[in-house]
Amino acid sequence: MEIPYSKRQLELAIVGVPKEIGDEENEKVKKLRTEFESRMPKTKKEFNQKVADDNGITVKQLIDCPNYALLCQDYGDRMRRDLVEAMKKEFNITDIQAWSVIAAGMGLI
Protein backbone atom coordinates (compact mmCIF):
# COMPACT_ATOMS: atom_id res chain seq x y z
CA MET A 1 0.00 0.00 0.00
CA GLU A 2 1.28 3.40 -0.89
CA ILE A 3 0.34 6.32 1.33
CA PRO A 4 0.58 9.59 -0.62
CA TYR A 5 2.35 11.45 2.20
CA SER A 6 5.69 11.21 3.96
CA LYS A 7 5.97 9.87 7.50
CA ARG A 8 6.81 13.36 8.76
CA GLN A 9 3.76 14.89 7.06
CA LEU A 10 1.54 12.22 8.60
CA GLU A 11 3.03 12.75 12.06
CA LEU A 12 2.27 16.46 11.83
CA ALA A 13 -1.24 15.90 10.45
CA ILE A 14 -2.30 13.47 13.19
CA VAL A 15 -1.98 16.29 15.73
CA GLY A 16 -4.93 18.13 14.16
CA VAL A 17 -7.27 15.12 14.03
CA PRO A 18 -10.37 15.51 16.21
CA LYS A 19 -10.27 13.42 19.38
CA GLU A 20 -13.64 11.82 18.54
CA ILE A 21 -11.98 9.71 15.84
CA GLY A 22 -10.02 7.85 18.53
CA ASP A 23 -13.14 7.24 20.64
CA GLU A 24 -14.26 3.65 20.03
CA GLU A 25 -17.70 4.45 21.51
CA ASN A 26 -18.38 7.40 19.18
CA GLU A 27 -21.40 6.67 16.97
CA LYS A 28 -19.68 7.97 13.81
CA VAL A 29 -16.68 5.73 14.49
CA LYS A 30 -18.93 2.72 15.13
CA LYS A 31 -20.85 3.39 11.91
CA LEU A 32 -17.70 3.61 9.78
CA ARG A 33 -16.15 0.55 11.42
CA THR A 34 -19.30 -1.52 10.88
CA GLU A 35 -19.59 -0.43 7.25
CA PHE A 36 -15.99 -1.22 6.37
CA GLU A 37 -15.75 -4.42 8.41
CA SER A 38 -18.77 -5.73 6.51
CA ARG A 39 -16.94 -5.04 3.24
CA MET A 40 -13.68 -6.68 4.32
CA PRO A 41 -13.67 -10.44 3.81
CA LYS A 42 -12.71 -12.69 6.70
CA THR A 43 -11.20 -15.56 4.70
CA LYS A 44 -9.07 -15.92 1.59
CA LYS A 45 -12.04 -17.54 -0.17
CA GLU A 46 -14.29 -14.57 0.65
CA PHE A 47 -11.53 -12.17 -0.39
CA ASN A 48 -11.11 -13.88 -3.75
CA GLN A 49 -14.88 -13.77 -4.28
CA LYS A 50 -15.05 -10.03 -3.54
CA VAL A 51 -12.08 -9.26 -5.82
CA ALA A 52 -13.57 -11.39 -8.60
CA ASP A 53 -17.00 -9.75 -8.22
CA ASP A 54 -15.37 -6.32 -8.20
CA ASN A 55 -13.66 -7.11 -11.49
CA GLY A 56 -16.63 -8.85 -13.13
CA ILE A 57 -14.91 -12.24 -13.41
CA THR A 58 -15.23 -15.64 -11.78
CA VAL A 59 -13.01 -16.75 -8.90
CA LYS A 60 -11.41 -19.34 -11.17
CA GLN A 61 -10.57 -16.64 -13.72
CA LEU A 62 -9.14 -14.49 -10.95
CA ILE A 63 -6.94 -17.25 -9.54
CA ASP A 64 -5.70 -18.23 -13.01
CA CYS A 65 -5.08 -14.60 -13.98
CA PRO A 66 -1.44 -13.54 -14.35
CA ASN A 67 -2.46 -10.25 -12.72
CA TYR A 68 -3.91 -11.93 -9.61
CA ALA A 69 -1.64 -10.09 -7.15
CA LEU A 70 -2.26 -6.74 -8.85
CA LEU A 71 -6.05 -7.19 -8.82
CA CYS A 72 -5.94 -8.09 -5.11
CA GLN A 73 -3.77 -5.08 -4.35
CA ASP A 74 -6.07 -2.80 -6.34
CA TYR A 75 -9.06 -4.04 -4.34
CA GLY A 76 -7.31 -3.27 -1.05
CA ASP A 77 -6.19 0.14 -2.30
CA ARG A 78 -9.73 0.96 -3.38
CA MET A 79 -11.06 -0.04 0.04
CA ARG A 80 -8.56 2.28 1.74
CA ARG A 81 -9.42 5.15 -0.62
CA ASP A 82 -13.12 4.61 0.13
CA LEU A 83 -12.33 4.71 3.84
CA VAL A 84 -10.35 7.94 3.45
CA GLU A 85 -13.26 9.56 1.60
CA ALA A 86 -15.79 8.36 4.18
CA MET A 87 -13.64 9.70 7.04
CA LYS A 88 -13.22 13.06 5.33
CA LYS A 89 -16.97 13.36 4.88
CA GLU A 90 -18.02 12.04 8.28
CA PHE A 91 -15.49 13.95 10.40
CA ASN A 92 -14.87 16.98 8.18
CA ILE A 93 -11.12 16.36 8.07
CA THR A 94 -8.54 16.76 5.33
CA ASP A 95 -7.15 14.03 3.11
CA ILE A 96 -3.81 13.99 4.92
CA GLN A 97 -5.53 13.78 8.31
CA ALA A 98 -7.55 10.76 7.18
CA TRP A 99 -4.40 9.06 5.87
CA SER A 100 -2.63 9.85 9.15
CA VAL A 101 -5.36 8.03 11.09
CA ILE A 102 -5.00 4.99 8.81
CA ALA A 103 -1.20 5.08 9.10
CA ALA A 104 -1.45 5.30 12.90
CA GLY A 105 -3.89 2.40 12.94
CA MET A 106 -1.42 0.33 10.93
CA GLY A 107 1.43 1.26 13.27
CA LEU A 108 3.33 3.20 10.59
CA ILE A 109 3.52 6.40 12.65
Q: Is residue 11 in some structural domain?
A: yes
As for how many domains the chain has, the answer is 1
- Which residues fall within 8 angstroms of residue 34, CB to CB, at 6 or more apart? none
Confidence label for 59 from pLDDT (cuts 50, 70 and 90): very high
2-26 residue pLDDT tens = 899 999 999 999 999 988 888 777 7
pTM above 0.85, yes or no: no
Confidence label for 80 from pLDDT (cuts 50, 70 and 90): confident
Average pLDDT over residues 16-39: 83
Domain that residue 101 falls in: 7-105
Q: Is residue 1 in some structural domain?
A: no
CB neighbours of residue 88 within 10 Å: 15
